[in-house]
Amino acid sequence: DTAVSQTPKYLVTQMGNDKSIKCEQNLGHDTMYWYKQDSKKFLKIMFSYNNKELIINETVPNRFSPKSPDKAHLNLHINSLELGDSAVYFCASSQGTGGVIQYFGAGTRLSVL
């Protein structure tokens, strides 16, 4: 039973399109995250939600909009996709904002053509 699951695993799309990535965790955690890993393997935080409240919002273009309908779900919607958005996006969760991130989702590999 997967702790943090995200869909889709692969996303190939054209520039200018809008796409969404979904994440769900069954660990009962109250904090969820989106990380972006670029081609150089650098893993950088984008957003974090605690109890459905946005608590970390890094300098991410406002084309990226996270949404947390409840504590177990965190989705990421991306408008007007650009070539530079191509990366692997990982979802993660922890218990509390000070909690350890033990589990990441399997990742969504986004390729913008």
39 interacts with another protein by CB under 8 A:
no
Letter for the amino acid at 14? Q
97 interacts with another protein by CB under 8 A:
yes
- Would you state the torsion angle of the CA atoms of residues 93, 5, 57, 68, taken in this order, to the nearest 10 degrees? -100
Q: Locate tokens 């309908």: which residue?
A: 69
75 interacts with another protein by CB under 8 A:
no
**Cα angle value 113/43/28 (rounded, 5°):** 105
From 14, 40, 62, 69, residue interacting with another protein (rule: CB under 8 A): 40
The minimum distance between CB 84 and another protein, in angstroms, equals 18
From 34, 68, 90, 93, residue interacting with another protein (rule: CB under 8 A): 90
Letter for the amino acid at 35? Y
83 interacts with another protein by CB under 8 A:
no
Phi, psi of 82 (to 5 degrees): -120, 160
For 65, the 3-state DSSP assignment is strand
Kindly tell me which of 9 and 63 has the beta carbon lying closer to another protein: 9
The minimum distance between CB 31 and another protein, in angstroms, equals 9
What is the rounded CA–CA span in Å between residue 111 and residue 14? Answer: 8
- Can you give the binding site for another protein, defined by CB under 8 A? 40-45, 48, 50, 55-56, 90, 97-98, 100-107
